[in-house]
Amino acid sequence: MLLAAALAAPLVAGCGSTGAATGTEVKASAPATRPAVDPARLAATAKATDAFGLDLLHALTATPDGAGRNTVVSPAGLATALAMLLPGARGATAQELAKALHTDLDPKQYALAVGALDQRADGGGKATLRQSDEVWTQQGLPVEPDYLATLAAAFDAGVHTTDFKKDPEGSRKAVNAAVEKATEGRIKDLFAPNTIDPNTRLVLTDALYLKAKWASEFKPGHTADRPFHKLDGSTPNVSTMSRTDDLKYADGSGGIAGEPWQAVELPYADGALAMDLIVPAQGGFAAFTKGLDQPELDRILGALSAQPVDLQLPRFHFDTSNELTPALRSLGVHSAFDDADLTGIAEQPPLAVSTVVQKATVQVDEEGTVAAAGSGVGVGVAAAPAPQRAAQLHIDRPFLFLIRDTSNGRPLFLGQVTDPQAK
């Protein structure tokens, strides 16, 4: 992450720029060391991210099309991007974001907790695990000093100015290039054409990159084509790795339908990272996945214990790209898009979230795993309220009526009309 230094107020107004294609880094005030975060808050925030991630996965796979396709999301990446937005939100906007993120912490405290968890993302020398955060602002936007100070303290976020108004395409390319560089070229074009436009005033990004070798690698000579039973009933042969080893393993039943499952944990060489695989019984995938929540996931992972395991695992490599506004709306986040209060970022102009995007990739083979994700939040000038349409009420069906004292709400008469012509 970029190290931030002293910041003059106003934060962005008056700062020069070398052009939208490159931007100018503005130094935001950050303490020499990040504030300590209570371990209990860290644990609660980690569990909250688990719950948020499961909600996000459920939302993305709720449709028949989504349920049948490969999907990878980065809960940590998106939670970080939204944690960068949350300290600038107020009222219902902040409440809905906090609820979706499963946190009851103060927005600043939540940001500090997420930032502390991100800071612990290192591979211990035996794996590469990097997470970087950036803020891109419109030249002259009077960003609140407290807001950028929070981002600096929590995320050590680099702050850049650019000119979305005059050169939105150049700005988009600059943002995307920074994410691409941070993910070793794995995440390209995070923001698609036209998602950053002349109305954009602020972009927040998180980039996460992982490259880790297994603690015990699969031998390539043991990889062979083996049948894989797909949801549609077909059984193609796929390249499948195999090994027998002492691994953490568990089996049982769970979910809303009590579906049987098996689970195994594959440690990486750094000793602090692992991949957990949870495999519902044949025919039970949909019901099990639908019922999987954070407490159930905790129960499964808590049941893992070391024992010999004869493991076969298909190699896989795929990418996922999502515009996440519909998914976040399904989780109850509406105000941020429709009637936002982001005055903690800037009092003027009125701002609203215009897009939330994530691209992720994962590759698993005999040596280990390479995975990356880019998450972005675009904030633009809020649209002017639409002209109010006349409400239409044609009373052409039975109805109730109430006659009341409006000074105290006391009902004087209450009734219903089912036939206006009856005497």
Question: Using one digit for the tens of pLDDT, what is the confidence trace for 301-311?
Answer: 899 899 988 88
CATH code given to domain 224-314: 2.30.39.10
Whole-angstrom CA distances from 172 to 80, 159, 185, 202 are 20, 15, 16, 11
How is residue 259 written in tokens?
């579906």
The strand pairing partners of 241, in sequence order, are: 313
For residue 228, the model assigns a pLDDT of 85
Q: How far is CA 287 from CA 51, 61, 280, 282, 418, in A?
A: 18, 12, 9, 11, 46
Task: Tell me the percentage of the chain whose pLDDT exceeds 90.
Answer: 44
Q: What is the Cα–Cα distance from 49 to 60, expressed in whole angstroms? A: 16
- In this structure, what are the phi and psi dihedrals at residue 225, rounded to the nearest 5 degrees? -75, 125
Give per-residue burial for 353-370: e unless 16+ CB within 10 Å, then b.
Answer: bbbbbbbbbbbbbbebbb
Share of the chain above pLDDT 70, in %: 80
Q: What is the pLDDT of residue 16?
A: 30
Higher-scoring residue by pLDDT: 95, 370:
95
Task: Indicate if the pLDDT at residue 166 is higher than 70.
Answer: yes
Q: Which range among 41-55, 149-163, 174-188, 372-386 has the greatest average pLDDT?
A: 174-188
**What integer pLDDT is reported at residue 122 of this predicted model?**
52
Local confidence band at 334 (pLDDT 50, 70, 90 cut-offs): very high
- Report, as an integer, the average pLDDT of 65-70: 78
How distant, in Å, are the alpha carbons of 1, 77, 232, 418 from that of 130? Answer: 8, 11, 38, 68
pLDDT score recorded for residue 347: 92
Tell me the pTM: 0.85
pLDDT greater than 80 at residue 423: no
Cα dihedral sign, 125-126-127-128: positive
Tell me which of 13-17, 70-74, 413-417 is least confident: 13-17
Cross-strand bridge partners of residue 105: none
What pLDDT score was predicted for residue 394? Answer: 38
Q: Where are the domains of the chain?
A: 24-209+322-381, 224-314
Confidence of residue 117 (pLDDT cuts 50, 70, 90): confident
Which numeric CATH code is attached to 24-209+322-381?
Answer: 3.30.497.10
pLDDT for 400 beyond 80:
no
What would the pLDDT profile of 203-247 be if each residue is shown by its tens digit? 999 999 888 898 999 999 999 998 888 888 888 888 998 989 999
pLDDT of residue 127: 83
pLDDT at res. 2:
34
Contact, 195 vs 355, CB < 8 A?
Answer: yes
d(CA 15, CA 238): 55
Work out the pLDDT band at 110, boundaries 50, 70, 90.
very high
Rounded mean pLDDT of the chain? 81
Q: What pLDDT, in 10s, does the model give residues 121-143?
A: 555 567 888 889 999 999 999 99
The rounded distance, in Å, linking the Cα atoms of 379 and 81 is: 12
Q: What is the 3-state secondary structure (H, E, C) of the chain?
A: CCCCCCCCCCCCCCCCCCCCCCCEEECCCCCCCCCCCCHHHHHHHHHHHHHHHHHHHHHHCCCHHHHCCCCCCCHHHHHHHHHHHHHHCCHHHHHHHHHHCCCCCCHHHHHHHHHHHHHCCCCCCCEEEEEEEEEEEECCCCCCHHHHHHHHHHHCCEEEEECCCCCHHHHHHHHHHHHHHHCCCCCCCCCCCCCCCCCEEEEEEEEEEEEEEECCCCCHHHCEEEECCCCCCCCCEEEEEEEEEEEEEEEEEECCCCEEEEEEEEEECCCCCEEEEEEECCCCHHHHHHHCCHHHHHHHHHCCEEEEEEEEEECEEEEEEEECHHHHHHCCCCHHHHCCCCCCCCCCCCEEEEEEEEEEEEEECCCEEEEEEEEEEEEEECCCCCCCCCCCCCCCCCEEEEEEECCCCEEEEEEEECCCCCC
- Do 42 and 111 touch, CB atoms closer than 8 A? no
Range scoring the smallest mean pLDDT among 28-32, 34-38, 200-204: 28-32
Contact call for residues 247 and 171 (beta carbons, < 8 A): no
Q: For the residues 172-182, what does the mean pLDDT come to?
A: 97
